[in-house]
């Protein structure tokens, strides 16, 4: 018995050591930073709540569109949608990063080239409804021009309406900001709905600090659920850039520390 008692702490310490080594967080490595996405990717890929959030957004969008169709408009109606995590589900790329101990945009081009993303729940039904009503659809994404053909192929593979060259607007050297492309569209269309998973899908918030993003959102809050339909994306986005001063390539230890510093725990009376 005494021998067994002596062995238990030794076995436990080996267990703790091996778990620590497998998490890639001691020391902090890019793989460790990626592994911290695990719960958000699990939620996104597996929860009924994530699916429901997409149905909720697209159903709300359809109600808003039905209202807009009854109102007079001097310009033709249009709906503008971001692609990644708004129409297309790219979470397999995030899962691949975790499983393969990779970081940030590793493997992204390969994933996009596969044109294998599926539509998020509710997107196709909404888009078909809008298309039947004669509403113009614009897929507005910051994907690269070199990814234009494969992106179009992906949209067509899913069978989305108006998936053609005229309705896919990617970033160009002359028109990098989404705001510029939105302004251009609004010259010709009455854009009744914007769909996105990132504040920059609605407002000119690219590169702004966390505080500035929150301020811009508060100023525009009346538009959310009205003309702006936002989907949750806990996996990545400008929200995260805001936390780390939009410097994704800084020292890994500093990124880890910035993440930890942004957590707001309660003050426990039983804290050690």
Interface contacts to Mg ion, rule CB under 5 A: 82, 84-85, 197
- Taking the complex as a whole, how short is the minimal distance between the CB of residue 207 and Mg ion, in angstroms? 16
Asked if residue 227 lies in contact with residue 64, where contact means CB atoms within 8 angstroms, the answer is yes
Min dist CB 201 to Mg ion, Å, is: 6
Q: Residue 237 Cβ, how far from Mg ion at the closest point, in Å?
A: 7
Q: Which residues contact 225 (CB under 8 A, 6 or more apart)?
A: 60
Choose between 33 and 88: whose C-beta lies nearer to Mg ion.
88
Residue 85 vs 255, nearer CB to Mg ion: 85
Q: Which residue is nearest to Mg ion (CB)?
A: 84
Is the CB of 189 or the CB of 236 nearer to Mg ion?
236
Three-class DSSP category at 75: coil
Q: How far is the CB of 234 from Mg ion (least distance, A)?
A: 13
Q: How big is the CA angle at 98 (ends 89 and 242), to the nearest 5 degrees?
A: 70
Smallest gap from Cβ 34 to Mg ion, in A, equals 19
Least distance in angstroms from the C-beta of 238 to Mg ion? 10
* Cα–Cα dist 141/84, whole Å: 8
Distance CA 171, CA 227 (A): 23
Assign residue 101 a region: left if phi > 0, alpha if psi is -120 to 50, beta otherwise?
left
Residues 6+ apart with CB under 8 A from 142: 170, 171, 178
Nearer to Mg ion (CB atom), residue 85 or residue 89: 85
Nearer to Mg ion, 89 or 197 (CB): 197
- On whether the CB atoms of residues 231 and 86 are closer than 8 A, the answer is yes
If we measure between CA atoms, which residue out of 111, 112, 162, 118 comes closest to residue 140?
A: 162
Question: Which residue, 90 or 152, is less far from Mg ion as judged by CB?
Answer: 90
């Amino acid at each position: 018995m005494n021998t067994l008692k002596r062995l238990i702490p030794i076995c436990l310490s080996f267990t703790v050591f091996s778990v620590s080594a497998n998490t890639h967080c001691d020391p902090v490595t890019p793989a460790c930073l990626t592994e911290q996405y695990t719960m958000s990717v699990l939620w996104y890929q597996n929860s009924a709540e994530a699916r429901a959030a997409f149905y909720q957004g697209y159903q709300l969008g359809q109600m808003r569109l039905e209202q807009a169709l009854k109102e007079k408009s001097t310009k033709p109606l249009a709906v503008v949608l971001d692609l990644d995590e708004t129409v297309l589900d790219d979470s397999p790329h995030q899962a691949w990063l975790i499983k393969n101990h990779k970081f940030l945009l590793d493997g992204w081009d390969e994933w996009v080239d596969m044109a294998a993303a599926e539509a998020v729940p509710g997107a196709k039904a909404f888009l078909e409804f809008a298309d039947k009503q004669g509403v113009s659809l614009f897929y507005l994404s910051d994907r690269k021009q070199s990814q234009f053909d494969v992106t179009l192929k992906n949209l067509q593979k899913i069978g989305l309406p108006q998936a053609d060259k005229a309705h896919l607007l990617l970033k160009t050297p002359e028109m990098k900001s989404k705001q510029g492309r939105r302004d251009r569209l609004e010259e010709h269309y009455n854009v009744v709905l914007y769909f996105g998973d990132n504040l920059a899908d609605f407002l000119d918030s690219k590169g702004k600090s966390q505080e500035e993003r929150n301020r811009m959102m508060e100023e525009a809050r009346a538009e959310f659920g009205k003309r702006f339909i936002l989907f949750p994306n806990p996996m990545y986005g400008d929200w995260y850039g805001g936390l780390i001063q939009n410097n994704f390539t800084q020292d890994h230890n500093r990124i880890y520390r910035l993440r930890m510093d942004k957590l707001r725990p309660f003050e426990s009376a039983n804290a050690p």
